[in-house]
Structure 1
Amino acid sequence: MSGPTHDGDKSVRIPDHDLDDLVSTVARLVAESRKQSETLARLTDDSPLTEADEPADRTVEPGAVPVSGRSADTQDSQLDGPSSVFILALDGKAYAEELAALTSWVHHLLLPVYGREITTGRPWCQQWQEHPEAVARLHALWLAWQQLTDVETGLTGPSTWHRDHLDPALIQLRTPDGPFGACTTSPARPNHRLLASPEPAGV
């Protein structure tokens, strides 16, 4: 236990119980600093992901998929432009880059792990990027995955992602009357067709 200070002693003495808190705080700050350095390193990578960059084998280990495939340009345009990170709030180059990053996540993690077989009761479309509802739902699912699989979320994050995000999203996407209802229902017969949406009421 640290003793009292004397008049002639100019050193600062910290009680032992406060010292543990200080060590914990410093460790947390060091971890945050390291994380910020990694973020800065990602931001300085100016090469956006393209289909040509994707490996031929799409059944890679889930752990090899980056948390975020966004390029620096996409993040910069989001800071200068829309206040939302949701893909439907983006346009032009920012939308294209976000869609490329989403495509990488869908093809390298989501489909190999959770794709399941295509059937009449569980349709899918290889051209899902052309279905606005599918893009919106898959992007929301990817955003939730990034947040809930982060180490700071805690040990229950992945379970929460499965229960609250993955299962409801797949039910909506792959139901027979979902966005892929007129698309592929058998792997042997690929098909893609956009269903007409209701016309807005006249004003």
Structure 2
Amino acid sequence: MLEGLGNWDDAEDDVDASEDADTPHGAAEEPSLVFATVDQFVQEHLAHTYRRTLNVQGGHTWCPEWWRHGEAISRLEALWRAWEDLRRDGQTGMSSWWRDHADHHMPILLSTDGPFKGCTPEKGHNPRLAPLPCTPPPEGLFVPQ
């Protein structure tokens, strides 16, 4: 177990046995979460396990106000949800999480041309990136389902 990160393997054991009596037969119980929010996941787990040297000149960049970036919220939420699901796989779950999720999303997030472009840990958030330009499609091209 990694120091300071808690024992997430025991999280499923936190369910009170008396709750089972109230669960209708055949109803699937929602698995308990280790981290209640994406913010808690980032601050208490990801920031401590995914360590990199940060600089703007050609390496990695990070915004201490990551929650101001829509892309970052979406990617970090995806990382958190995948971690919560894959942690229950005692075999290769964590390896899959690193390979398929963290190793994919984190280089994009930390890229000097990624969503945190212009931000630095020292100077904070800098809303420098504009949304991608979009021209509305011709009317009728996309029909609601």
* Structure 2: tracts of 5 or more residues without a match: 1-12, 20-32, 138-145
Match among 67, 83, 106 for residue 34 of structure 2? 67
1:202 partner amino acid: P
- The SS at the match of 1:166 is helix
For the pair shown, the structure with the greater C-alpha radius of gyration is: 1
* Residue equivalent to 1:137: 75
Distance 1:37 1:138 in 2: 30
Verify the 8 A CA contact 2:65 2:124 in the aligned structure 1: no
* Residue equivalent to 1:202: 136
CA drift of 1:188 comes to 3.8
Q: Note if 1:181 corresponds to 2:131.
A: no
* Residue equivalent to 2:108: 172
Higher helix share: 1
Verify the 8 A CA contact 1:127 1:192 in the aligned structure 2: no
Normalised TM-score (structure 1) = 0.49
* Residue equivalent to 1:93: none
Distance 1:68 1:110 in 2: 11
* Residue equivalent to 2:28: none
Taking only aligned residues, the RMSD between alpha carbons, in angstroms, comes to: 2.3
Match among 106, 109, 126 for residue 192 of structure 1? 126
Verify the 8 A CA contact 2:62 2:116 in the aligned structure 1: yes
Stretches (4+) displaced over 2 A: 34-38, 187-192
Q: Note if 1:123 corresponds to 2:61.
A: yes
Size of the aligned set, in residue pairs, is 110
CA drift of 1:194 comes to 4.3
Structure scoring higher RCO (CA < 8 A, sep ≥ 6) equals 2
Percent identity of the aligned residues? 36
* Structure 1: tracts of 5 or more residues without a match: 1-33, 41-65, 70-100
